[in-house]
Amino acid sequence: METQDELKRIEAVANTWLSSDFDEETRAAVKQMLEAEDKTLLIDSFYRTLEFGTGGLRGKMGPGTNRMNKYIVAQATQGFANYLNKIATEGGFANIKKGERPSVVVGHDCRNHGREFAETVADVFAANGIRVYLFESLRPTPEVSFAIRHLRCQGGVNVTASHNPKEYNGYKAYWEDGSQVLQPHDQGIIDEVGKVQMKDVRRGGDKNLIEIIGGEMDYDYMQAVRSVMIDQDVILRQKDLNIVYTPMHGAGRQIVPMCLRSWGFQNIHVVPEQMVIDGNFSTVVSPNPENAEAMTMGMQMGSRIGADLVIASDPDADRIAIVCRDDKGEWVIINGNQTCMMYCYYIINNMKRLGKMRNDMYLVKTIVTSELIRKMADKQGVTLTDEYTGFKWIANRIRMWEGKRKYIGGGEESFGFLPYDAVRDKCSPSAICLICEIAAYAKDNGMTLYEYLLNIYMEYGFQRETTINIVREGKSGAEEISAMMRGYREHPITEIAGEKVIRTKDFSSLEEKTLKDGKWETRPIEMALGAKSNVLQYFTEGGIKVSVRPSGTEPKIKYYFEIPATMATPADYRQATAAAESRVPAIKQSLGI
């Protein structure tokens, strides 16, 4: 319950939104909140200004300082514009000369108010003398990243809330290499945004500074996606692979089928109801392809037409979900770790088979992604780096090694993969095309995609990955999560599910400890940019791996479990899965959750 003084402060802020600086619809909605007996909506809408974090903005749409609306979007863009102009004046960009005018790419996905927010962003940039390339309509997040690089821009914005519920929208900020902004520029932008008041926002810029882009960029992007192809012959032999695709009402609706056809696949079916642009996502409870419910219509179509696999992209078309048939012919969703494993396994083995693998090539995964990929890379003699969660860190590795080594793929457990370096964010069009190539290769060799996955387990051993989310809302929740992490550090965990912990990693201090001959040996962990993160990891003598990480964007603490089990034959897959999952309660008990 808010105090009277706090409520008066919130009401005072809300009253400023009744001026003529705001449109009539906004003023009417704020007036209604102020006059309502229940002040809950008023408080939530105005108790703070929506925070511009390291990735940008994300929040519920509506009037108010704590909401996504054209005024908050404009305010954030003014701060971003100030920072871009500052860096340009200082000569801090690699691809323009000191003092040259910076340029940006602006895009959006299918969400409600997406076009309005994108045009607001473009207008504010133009009013600050920044050239803008504005996509004509919704486009995938990875195409925005591609366009920034392709047009040699200094930054970009994509208006999207990814797979969040329909009430949300967001604002992703990008830098000159096409990746989401990293240090030190992330903090620099945050500082500039924090200085901007509504009265400081510039509008009504030179319209000639805004150029609409579309079809030509689509073609160039599609050509880049085609460069990912490893084995065209197998696709030509299996061009009739039966594929069902759904864009979840979002930005992949045109480009993904086009890319699949450009690779040579000819038997592509789309879910018509979900090809409709719809920011309300009326055919699903949540537009998150990780959720089985969201894949229902695709699987139903797949059953009707005898499809080999069903594939989805999320609303901004950066993440994917893959559904294939198991040994009983039933649909099964491949999880994010398994997806990443299949990509890496195929890339390594088939590039070697075709003589395309070079010593300077490397793969990337995040620290919470399956350790089977590490086993794979070590056995095959391929360089693999571990990066923090979030594709900006994978993009950072590409930037660090650009011109020195060749990137051939990277992914994370949360259903994202990037198989080439022309884009610097998760890329579902290229990932979808590549998984179809993998399915074609499997079929060419008398296997289903499911059987291909089981073969990986037979070669490298089985383990099951599970994620546990503990939600703790509000200020008290944040304090509880902080106390939990502090407790793990002050009272180190020595056993998990009856197995001795023999190695730990603390990414907040960048220290790794290993138990040898009854003594703990400490060594430093080397992470890109020397960056630290509030993550703890535990490794047991029996092969269990546990990662503990407070979420940076949601009020939750996340636990990632990797649990090995015996799998002597492919037929043992279900039994091994059940055996691994049966250990989850004991692991949770060891962690006090």
Distance CA 162, CA 175 (A): 19
Residues 511, 525: contact at Cβ < 8 Å? yes
**Which of 14, 1, 121 is closest to 64 using CA atoms?**
14
Distance CA 171, CA 121 (A): 10
For 293, the token pair is: 């419910």
**Which of 30, 37, 26 is closest to 10 using CA atoms?**
30
* 158 Rama sector, left if φ>0, alpha if ψ -120 to 50, beta otherwise: beta
**DSSP state at residue 226:** H
Examine the residue annotation and report whether 162 is marked as an active-site residue of this protein: yes
**Which of 57, 71, 162 is closest to 120 using CA atoms?**
71
Instruction: Report H helices in 372-473.
Output: 372-380, 391-401, 428-444, 449-460
Which residue among 45, 103, 162, 430 is the active-site one?
162
Measured on CA atoms in the order 182, 187, 189, 190, is the torsion positive or negative? positive
Question: Measuring CA to CA, how many Å separate 463 from each of 120, 454, 466, 561, 567?
Answer: 48, 11, 10, 10, 9
For 340, the token pair is: 């990443």
- Bridge partners, residue 513, by sequence: 504, 522
Q: Rounded to the nearest 5°, which phi and psi values hold at 513? A: -120, 135
Catalytic residue IDs:
162
